[in-house]
Amino acid sequence: MKQFLGTLVRPSALALGVALTCVTAGAAGQAVAPISPISVWSGVYNTVQSKRGAELHSAVCVMCHGPQLNGAGQPEMPPSPAIARASFLRKWSGRNVAALFLYVRQTMPPDSPGTLTDQQALDAIAHMFAVSNLPAGERELPLDPKALANIVIDAQK
């Protein structure tokens, strides 16, 4: 839960509110300036954020996704997908980081979904991007839902 204008709201409710505001503004005849999408290949996270994500992965995610983020490679591991590299990028290609953020934030970890904070979910995504060899930039992935919706996941550069 986040505090927004003095009221506690869920991040997904905040994102929905932002989306509805944009749609309402457009429907009311107000011009909504289009923003050019940004590719994940343009350095949308930084190394500090990906290091926090690596620490989180070691503590929370490794049991299902493995140390190399390859998914369940061992028989004793629960079934899980790869969350890095080409197969991950192909799976999410054409979608935006906001969709990935909501998926991670609301469904992970599977034994306790929704327990990651917004920052932890973004840090985990930064680690996934780093392991996928996407270049790091100077800024962290932002907590702003509109900004995340503007970052597109491309399988290739």
16/58 same-domain check: no
Residues 6+ apart with CB under 8 A from 4: 14
Instruction: Specify the number of domains making up the chain.
Output: 2
**pLDDT at residue number 76:** 72
157 is a domain residue:
no
109/133 same-domain check: yes
Residue 17 has pLDDT above 50, yes or no: no
2 is a domain residue:
yes
> Tens of pLDDT along 39-80?
999 999 999 999 999 999 999 999 889 999 988 766 776 788
56/123 same-domain check: yes
72/110 same-domain check: yes
- Give DSSP secondary structure letters for 29-98: T--------EEGGGT-S-HHHHHHHHHHIIIIIHHHH-TTS----STTSPP----SHHHHHHHHTTSBHH
**pLDDT at residue number 146:** 97
23/41 same-domain check: no
**pLDDT at residue number 123:** 98
What kind and span of H or E run contains 3? Answer: strand 2-4
- For the chain, report the end-to-end CA distance as a whole number of angstroms: 35
CATH number of domain containing 64: 1.10.760
> Tens of pLDDT along 79-96?
889 999 999 999 999 999
For residue 5, what are the domain limits? 1-34
Average pLDDT, the chain: 84
Percent of the residues in the chain that have a pLDDT greater than 90, as a whole number: 66
> Tens of pLDDT along 121-151?
999 999 999 999 999 999 999 999 999 999 9
Axis crossing angle, helix 47-56 with helix 118-131, rounded to the nearest 10: 100
Residue 113 has pLDDT above 90, yes or no: yes
12/67 same-domain check: no
